[in-house]
Amino acid sequence: MGFFLVLGGARSGKSAYAERLAAGLAHRHSLNVTYVATAQASDKEMLTRIDRHRQERPDTWETVEVPLLLEQWLKTCETSNVLLIDCLSLLLNNWMFLDGCDEDEIRRRSENLLLAMKERKQPVVIVSSEVGQGIVPMDSFTRQYRDSLGWINQRMARDAEKAIWVVAGIPIDLKSIEVTLP
């Protein structure tokens, strides 16, 4: 079974689309959905946001919080549900800010995450932000974050069964419009 990457900017509708995709895959394969949250409630606004998202999801969906060691959790997880991982951008944030990962460690963890997703027999839907279309950040740490997430997104998109870019709530299948070199 493959995995699906859903990309988009802030408030693009990427998470809502990913939820519909996961629900559709679960229905097609007679499975349930496990929502894998990478966010942490670091302030009141984030806690409110997390609670709102939780209330919007179906009651039948299981929710697990995996803010750091997602690749290890995937290797040991025994659920046969469709996994909806939201999101890579917050996971990278946690790796950098909470674990102090450097570029080499980020790449190692990303590759291990990719392998763990590819080994699953059930579908995985993973969400990530597209942050590379803005201006170049002024500080080196923010540039490192932007560059690392860009690299992770490219790596995931290359191996994903589908890479969907959501703009203004409209999903675009990037692999169906992929241009190859002559």
Q: Token match 């201006």: residue? A: 135
Strand partners, 82: 33
On whether 15 is known to bind a ligand per the annotation, the reply is yes
Using omega within 30 degrees of 0 as the cis cutoff, is the peptide bond preceding 87 cis? yes
Q: H/E/C letters for each residue in 20-69?
A: HHHHHHHHHCCCCEEEEECCCCCCHHHHHHHHHHHHHCCCCCEEEECCCC
- The reply to whether 27 belongs to the active site is no
173 annotated to a ligand binding site: no
What are phi and psi for residue 139, nearest 5 degrees? -105, 155
The answer to the question of whether 86 is labelled as a binding residue is yes
39 is in an annotated binding site: yes
| Under 8 Å between Cβ of 92 and 152 | yes
Is there a binding annotation on residue 48? no
Q: d(Cα 119, Cα 47) in Å, to the nearest integer?
A: 33
Which of 29, 53, 118, 162 is catalytic? The answer is 53
Please indicate if the annotation marks 159 as binding a ligand: no
168 is in an annotated binding site: no
54 is in an annotated binding site: yes
Q: List, as residue ranges, the binding site for GTP.
A: 8-15, 37-39, 54-57, 65, 86
Q: List, as residue ranges, the binding site.
A: 8-15, 37-39, 54-57, 65, 86
* Residues annotated catalytic, as ranges: 53
